[in-house]
Amino acid sequence: MSFTVAIDGPAAAGKGTLSRAVAGAFGFRHLDTGLLYRATGMRVLDGLDPVAAAEALVPSDLEREGLRSAEAAAEASRAAAIPGVRAALLAFQRDFARDPDGAVLDGRDIGTVICPEAEVKLFVTARAEIRARRRFEELRAGGAETQFETVLADVRERDARDMDRADAPLRPAKDAVVLDTSDLTIAEATARAVQIVASRRRMP
């Protein structure tokens, strides 16, 4: 019987790290749905229309180099605001969520739109400055030359775009557990997330 964990939240809140940890702890499959939008963004950068790009995605697109680039992230956020793109990717995500061995999906609207019936819903967040610092350090570690102020402005712009879009805006599901990672270590945040999922799995 399938068991779905939906993990949402803004950029650099730690939801990807927590999703992988939860999936590993319970032997569930994991899907970073943001990669679907980043892969769409990469195809847009190749010259395709966003909706056509989403409809043409194949699994190998999720392995492309450059998916973690700032350019791909910006295009992904823009593409995600287009209803036709979201519709094209909806079936892929819902099929994945029904995996009989359990599934963890992380993104922006998993608990509200993609999997509203998920057994567990987490909304992972952190203060904008904290998230920008994490992203800044990640980019610097990867060799990118950038300024913290630039990264912070990008984080705030993405937050506004994701929260204000008309179709599936970023927000916690009514029954989601909000997990603020601003002042938590990775180990502490992971332990809390695993505990929440474990408690729901034990419920009748």
**pLDDT tens across 103-138, in order?**
999 998 999 999 999 999 999 999 999 999 999 998
Structural tokens at position 34: 């943001």
Is 50 annotated among the ligand-binding residues? no
**Any idea of the CA torsion for 69, 20, 187, 2, to the nearest 10 degrees?**
150
Average pLDDT estimate for 134-153 = 90
Backbone angles phi, psi at 107, to 5 degrees: 180, -140
Mean pLDDT of 180-199: 96
For the record, the structure tokens of 91 come out as 């079936």
Distance CA 93, CA 40 (A): 14
Homologous superfamily, domain 4-198: P-loop containing nucleotide triphosphate hydrolases (3.40.50.300)
pLDDT over 70 at 178, yes or no: yes
70 forms bridges with which residues in the sheet? Answer: none
Instruction: Give me the pLDDT at residue 203, please.
Output: 61
Tell me whether residue 10 is annotated as binding. Answer: yes
CA distances from 191 to 1, 5, 17, 79, 115 (A): 25, 15, 12, 33, 23
Does residue 54 have a pLDDT over 90?
A: yes
Q: Is 143 annotated as contributing to ligand binding?
A: no
Mean pLDDT of all residues in 2-8: 96
The annotation status of 17 as a binding-site residue, yes or no, is yes
Mean pLDDT of 95-110: 93
Is 33 annotated in a binding site? The answer is: no
Find out whether 172 is annotated in a ligand binding site. no
79 is in an annotated binding site: no
Of 60 and 25, which is predicted with more confidence?
Answer: 25
Domain boundaries, the chain: 4-198
The percent of residues in the chain predicted with pLDDT above 70, rounded, is 99
Which residues have CB under 8 Å from 4's CB, separation 6+? 97, 98, 102, 103, 104, 105, 115, 117, 118, 119, 120
Average pLDDT value for the chain: 92
